[in-house]
Structure 1
Amino acid sequence: MSILLIAGSPSAPSRSSRLLQYAAEQLALRGQRTTTLEVRTLPAQALVHAEFGNAGLKAAQALVAEADAVIIGTPVYKAAYSGLLKSFLDILPQDGLAGKLVLPLATGGSQSHMLALDYALRPVLSSLSARHVLPSIYATDAQVIWSEENGLSIDPAILARLTTGIDSLTASLLALQEAAVTEYEPVHFSQVRCSV
């Protein structure tokens, strides 16, 4: 099973990309394979003008298509996810997330932006036919701190939510994998019984 991490921040490093990196490390400890797509590295003109034939955009779309699950990280600006991420989601096909599990992560300046994930991002992910959008994880700038001396420091409450989200994602992927390999013997129609 493969998990794609989509970094929707226009800057690097960023708090949301650090949360994605932490998620990648935790997934690796659980034996999961991850790939990271930084939207800011895609061809800007092609992205803004939705040039669907652009090789860079096609490669990014292929990464999404090949993934079994997606973790999306974004900063929140003006009560919405980043415009850069919006531009990328706009170039995905209408069913671009079909059959995929999605875990949204976001960071913002204050708790007042917390609902941006549920009111702005979740409907878009659902419209792209995501199989299941897991509960969103939102952290304020004060809850995700980076320093050269100490590295990444995540507030214990956010850390607990991240752990729960990652555990839920991996358990759901495992269940889907097991369901895909379960084989059933075909039953002839004449053997089907129905009771009322």
Structure 2
Amino acid sequence: MSTLLIAGSPSERSRSAALLDAVAQRLTVRGALVDRIHVRDLSPQALLLADTHHRSISQAVAQVAQARVLVVSTPVYKAAYSGVLKVFLDLLPQTALQGKTVLPLATGGSPHHMLALDYALRPVLQSLGAKHILPGVYATDAQVTVTPEGAYTVGRDIATRLDDAVNLLVTETLRPSPAQATRFAPVPFSQVRCSV
């Protein structure tokens, strides 16, 4: 089972990428297989022209198809997720997320944009057929700071929320519950025998 991390920032290094890295570290420690797509690394021309036959696009779409879990990270611009991410999501087939669990992550300049996760990104993920969209994690610029060396550091409060989100992701999706593990296969009615 693979978990696909989708970085939806147009920048190579960003706060939203830092959130994604923090989730990747937590998943790896828990034994999950992690793969990643940086949307900014896909062919810009193929993205804008909706060329789904372009090698970089077809490979990314195949990665989405193979993953059971997706973690989508984006900066929030003008109260919506990034245009780069929007263009990529538009290229996915209508049922691309069918049966999949998605954890959305976002960063923005202030807490005023936190509803972009629920009112902008979540409806698109639902329209693509996601089975379960976990509660998202939103961080402000003050919660993901830049060190003097230029690295991003996730604040303690956001780290705790990421711990909770990854724990929920692992317990509900990546590991079957004991009830699921011991569940019997269904028996067709024609095979049911009873005596009185």
Whether the 8 Å contact between 2:146 and 2:153 is mirrored in structure 1 is yes
**Cα distance per residue 1:80-119 (max 9 Å; x no partner):** 0000000000000000101110000000000110100100
Residue 93 of structure 2: aligned partner? 93
Aligned length: 193
SS at match of 1:139: strand
CA distance 1:151–1:48, change in 2 (3 Å): closer
CA distance in structure 1 between the aligned counterparts of 2:76 and 2:193, rounded to whole angstroms: 54
SS across alignment from 1:165 = helix
Instruction: State the match for 2:121 in structure 1.
Output: 121
Which residue is 2:40 aligned to?
A: 40
Give the corresponding residue for 1:30. Answer: 30
Moved more, 179-188 or 112-121: 179-188
Equivalences for 1:1-196 in 2 at 5 Å? 1-147=1-147, 151-173=151-173, 174-175=175-176, 179=180, 184=185, 186-189=187-190, 191=192
CA distance in 1, matches of 2:130, 2:180: 18
2:100, 2:179 → 1: CA distance?
15
In structure 2, the gaps of 5 or more residues are none
TM-score normalised per structure 1: 0.91
Give the CA deviation at 1:157. 2.0
Displacement after TM superposition at 1:178 (Å): 8.2
Shift of residue 185 of structure 1? 5.8
What root-mean-square deviation, in Å, do the aligned CA atoms of Structure 1 and Structure 2 show? 2.2
Deviation at 1:187, TM superposition (A): 3.8
Of 182-191 and 45-54, deviating more is: 182-191
Alpha-carbon deviation of 1:183?
Answer: 5.0
Separation in 2 of the partners of 1:81 and 1:160? 23
